[in-house]
Amino acid sequence: MLTRQDLWSLEEYAQQRQGFRKTVIAHKRLRQVALGDNVRLLFEDRLTIRYQIQEMLRIERIFEPAGIQEELDAYNPLIPDGTNWKATLMLEYPDVEQRREMVEQLLGIERAVWMAVDGHERVFAIADEDMDRQDGKKTSTVHFLRFELAPEMIASAKAGCAISAGVDHPALRVSLAPIDAEVRDSLAEDLKGEALVN
């Protein structure tokens, strides 16, 4: 969890932003999984959320303690707590007409995304706990997902077992197994627990 003490003031952030942004962009490369050509997961952690908060404070020119706390309260739930992965799901269709069509076809996709640790069952996402992002006719292009893992799955992930991801939706079926080793290692670092000992 981030607190006000973890954040720079607007003035400090203006000085630090360029270097911090480069660090975060490099970090995010190890936290992304493409599910086909138009669906992407960005796995959030303390660093990505800190950057998001700093950017919001900068854009909105928020400097009062109550306003800063509001941003912290909004974004802190997106940081994994050691038993889960938390991700932003993005539907990326550059063509407006295709996007309009696909947000209707992909209604419910946020609950059809799964993660799996080798040797264990798939875990489907718990989606949009902050607010509902679909209206019964179309879905949103952005969703917030949580994948809750059992202790034995955490132990396997921390022991180096492969991690796979996919979508099991009538309009889109994707299975990515395994995800890149660098991404796998980054996600394993989000988890607390002991690795399995053979």
In tens, the pLDDT along 64-94 reads 999 999 999 999 999 999 999 999 999 999 9
pLDDT in tens, 129-184: 866 555 678 999 999 999 999 999 999 999 999 999 999 999 999 998 789 999 99
CA dist 18 and 38 (Å) reads: 29
- For the whole model, what pTM was predicted? 0.90
Q: Which strand (E) or helix (H) includes residue 166?
A: strand 163-169
Are 169 and 112 in contact by the 8 Å Cβ rule? The answer is yes
Are 71 and 37 in contact by the 8 Å Cβ rule? The answer is no
Residue type at 87 in one-letter notation: A
The set of residues, in sequence order, having a beta carbon less than 8 Å from that of 149 and lying 6+ positions away, is 83, 84, 85, 117, 123, 157, 191
pLDDT over threshold 50, residue 198: no
Q: What confidence score (pLDDT) does residue 177 get? A: 77
Give domain limits for the chain. 4-188
Q: Which strand (E) or helix (H) includes residue 98?
A: helix 96-105
